[in-house]
Amino acid sequence: MKMKVKIKNKKEVSPERLSKRIKISPKNRNGLERLLKCQAKRGLKYSKKRAAIIEYFIKADRHYTVEQLYNEIKEIVPNIGYSTIYRTLRLLVDCGMARTHHFGETDTRFELVHKEQHHDHLVCEKCGRIIEFTNNGIEKFQNAVAKEHNFLVKNRELQIFGVCKRCQQRKR
Amino acid sequence: MKMKVKIKNKKEVSPERLSKRIKISPKNRNGLERLLKCQAKRGLKYSKKRAAIIEYFIKADRHYTVEQLYNEIKEIVPNIGYSTIYRTLRLLVDCGMARTHHFGETDTRFELVHKEQHHDHLVCEKCGRIIEFTNNGIEKFQNAVAKEHNFLVKNRELQIFGVCKRCQQRKR
DNA sequence: ATTAATAATGAAAATGAAAGTCAAGATCAA
DNA sequence: TTGATCTTGACTTTCATTTTCATTATTAAT
Ligand SMILES: [Mn+2]
Ligand SMILES: [Mn+2]
Ligand SMILES: [Zn+2]
Ligand SMILES: [Zn+2]
């Protein structure tokens, strides 16, 4: 006879359990655990729709506007509401699993936080393409500037706006 | 008897003439001329209120939200409307005399373009202070990155968010 | 100075992204 | 299965910004 195991301080769904529901690659594991901690701390329950959004967002791994994500998600989860997308993305940001950007547009863009290093963006003004890059030289000089001003750095954001290679070629 | 001089292709108010109305320091002269060209091209007329806003904005030389500028301008020009501030700032941006920033707030900030060199900002998250800096090392590496990607740079924006010296001291 | 053409203005309405509300449905520990 | 609590979508609200429009100001030609 199988005994029912009683777990005392649960509230916290195990990563294994949620992983069965949210299919996720190993590299996003730490992000997922962060999310679970966050959910637990807030007493949030599991939800299919939220899980679907998160799973999709993680797999796609792009710089999404709410509108874009909404349009893609609704193909998978019909009846999904705009609010749920907004709420879920806000949750991810609060948990540190996502971050926001403003690439010169009105809409906020959301991107998954899973890369080890800080990275910045080249933003093509013609086609909207976003190219990520990391540059230690830039980082170093940024830190030097901060130190000069006795400024305690919490975060930084660098965007280089212009025309991508492809769009330059297409022009002529 | 004084002859009336007829100017053929006017439409374009001379900088001298507008300068008499908009009191401006020499260093903002090129900006002013750009504005006049811009006004002329669009067939805009002179306006006291617009001139007052521009003059104030140039003299104050800060990173303004529309609300801030509105509140300060209305002391000088009562009855001024919000729309006029919005419209004038938009004009300045279109003429290349002002540029916008988003320092992690909802409101857009406007700043005068008159400095020779591109500059970036340290933004204090505690007190809102904005510290400008220029760093050639950063610029150099940014250009290197762009070149690597065959990216044609039009503009760039770097913000370093954190806590300024003063706010760090105040904390303890 | 008068005039006619047209730009500028402020008040109010419209827009659009983002957040809040709430009744009905979903989740979960017991 | 139940009761407590969370989640959801439709709707409303908020707030920055833009647009509209009737009135006023500017300009160049008389
Ligand atoms: Mn990115
Ligand atoms: Mn500045
Ligand atoms: Zn492109
Ligand atoms: Zn400060």
Looking at mean pLDDT, say which of B5-9, B13-17, B97-101, B114-118 comes out highest.
B97-101
Q: Look up residue B27 and give its DSSP letter.
A: G
Mutate to test the interface with A, among B119, B121, B122, B124 (most CBs of A within 10 A): B122
B13: containing domain: 5-112
State the nearest residue by CA to the C1' of C18. Answer: A86
Q: Residues A48, A128: one domain?
A: no
> What pLDDT, on the 0 to 100 scale, is given for residue A27?
62
Q: Residues A44, A69: one domain?
A: yes
> What pLDDT, on the 0 to 100 scale, is given for residue B75?
96
For the CA of A83 and the C1' of C19, the distance in angstroms is 9
CA distance B131 to chain A (A): 9
Q: Residues A36, A68: one domain?
A: yes
> What pLDDT, on the 0 to 100 scale, is given for residue B52?
93
- Which helix (H) or strand (E) segment holds residue B88: the answer is helix B82-94
Q: Which of A14-18, A43-47, A100-104, B157-161 has the lowest mean pLDDT?
A: A14-18
Give the Cα separation of B51 and A124 in Å (integer). Answer: 35
Place of tokens 């990216």: B151
Q: Residue A170: which residues within 8 A CB-CB, separation 6 or more? A: none
Give the Cα separation of A124 and A103 in Å (integer). Answer: 10
B122 → closest Cβ in A149, A162, A168: A149
- Structural domain ending residue among the three candidates B112, B138, B160: B112
Q: Which residue has the higher pLDDT, B157 or B172?
A: B157
Percentage of residues in chain A having pLDDT higher than 90: 68
Q: Residues A38, A79: one domain?
A: yes
Give the chain B residue nearest A120 (alpha carbons). B158
> What pLDDT, on the 0 to 100 scale, is given for residue A32?
67
Contacts of A138 in chain B (CB under 8 A): 138, 141-142, 145
Give the chain A residue nearest B143 (alpha carbons). A160
Q: Residues A101, A124: one domain?
A: no
Q: Residues A82, A146: one domain?
A: no
pLDDT tens-digit readout, A131-151: 999 999 999 999 999 999 999
Looking up residue A147, the CATH number of its domain turns out to be 3.30.1490.190
Q: Residues A17, A97: one domain?
A: yes
- What domain count does chain B have? 2
Q: Residues B134, B69: one domain?
A: no
pTM value is 0.85
Mutate to test the interface with B, among A100, A151, A155, A158 (most CBs of B within 10 A): A151
Give the Cα separation of B94 and A48 in Å (integer). Answer: 47
- Structural domain ending residue among the three candidates B70, B94, B112: B112
Separation of A131 CA from ligand 1 center, angstroms? 8
Q: Residue A44: which residues within 8 A CB-CB, separation 6 or more? A: A38, A91
CA distance B115 to chain A (A): 19
Percentage of residues in chain A having pLDDT higher than 70: 79
pLDDT for residue B139 is more than 90: yes
Q: Residues B101, B148: one domain?
A: no
Q: Summarize the confidence of residues A120-138 as an average pLDDT.
A: 96
Looking up residue A99, the CATH number of its domain turns out to be 1.10.10.10
Give the chain B residue nearest A168 (alpha carbons). B152
Residue A100 β-bridge partners: A110
Contacts of A145 in chain B (CB under 8 A): 122, 133, 135, 138, 160
Q: Residues A90, A17: one domain?
A: yes
> What pLDDT, on the 0 to 100 scale, is given for residue A114?
78
C-alpha distances (whole Å) from A2 to each of A5, A9, A165 are 9, 21, 63
pLDDT tens-digit readout, B70-88: 999 999 999 999 999 999 9
pLDDT for residue A53 is more than 70: yes
